[in-house]
Structures are given as structure tokens and as C-alpha cells.
């Protein structure tokens, strides 16, 4: 995983266990987009959407992934 994204998750107010969930959701979202070197902005949007949802209380990685992918008009595979 991109260290920049991990740092972004770690800079939030979440505990280490939640950061693991966020990282899992992030990886799921990237795989769903068939990540083959997406531009940095795509990865940042995914991470930011996951953080927004987590701040709203969501902790289910599948729902975090789906919510992040809605920004791209797609769903997890």
C-alpha cells in the first residue's frame, strides 16, 4: 500500500484497529477499480471518501469500500 495513503489514515483521529479497517477498505476499492497504476488523485479520493464515511461512524470495510467507489459511479466487484 502507498505509504502516503497509510499516513493519511494514521493522521486521522482513529484508533489503530480502525486504521486497519480503513486500509482494508482502501485495498478492496483499488482492486475493484482494477488498479493498474491509477493517478494519485484517484487513490486520494478513495482514501478521503473512506475517511469521511468512517468519521460518520461506518466501520464495515465492505460499506466503506462501496461508499468510496460511489465517487466514481461504480460498485465493488
Range of the domain at 16: 3-72
The answer as to whether 55 is a domain residue is: yes
pLDDT per position as a tens digit, 8-53: 777 777 888 998 999 999 999 999 888 667 788 888 899 999 999 9
- Look at the pTM and tell me if it is higher than 0.75: yes
51 part of a folded domain: yes
Residue 36 lies in a domain: yes
The answer to whether residue 77 is domain-embedded is no
Q: What is the dihedral of CA 5, 34, 45, 11, to 10 degrees?
A: -20
Long-range contacts of 72-76 (CB under 8 A, 24+ apart): 72/33, 72/42, 72/45, 74/32, 74/33, 75/32, 76/28, 76/29, 76/32
Report whether pLDDT(64) > 80: yes
Domain count, the chain: 1
Amino acid at each position: 500500500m502507498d505509504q502516503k495513503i497509510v499516513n493519511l489514515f494514521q493522521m486521522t483521529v482513529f484508533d489503530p484497529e480502525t486504521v486497519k479497517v480503513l486500509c482494508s477498505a482502501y485495498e478492496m476499492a483499488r482492486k475493484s477499480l482494477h488498479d493498474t497504476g491509477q493517478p494519485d488523485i484517484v487513490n486520494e479520493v478513495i482514501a478521503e471518501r473512506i475517511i469521511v464515511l468512517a468519521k460518520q461512524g461506518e466501520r464495515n470495510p465492505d460499506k466503506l469500500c462501496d461508499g468510496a467507489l460511489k465517487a466514481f459511479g461504480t460498485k465493488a466487484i
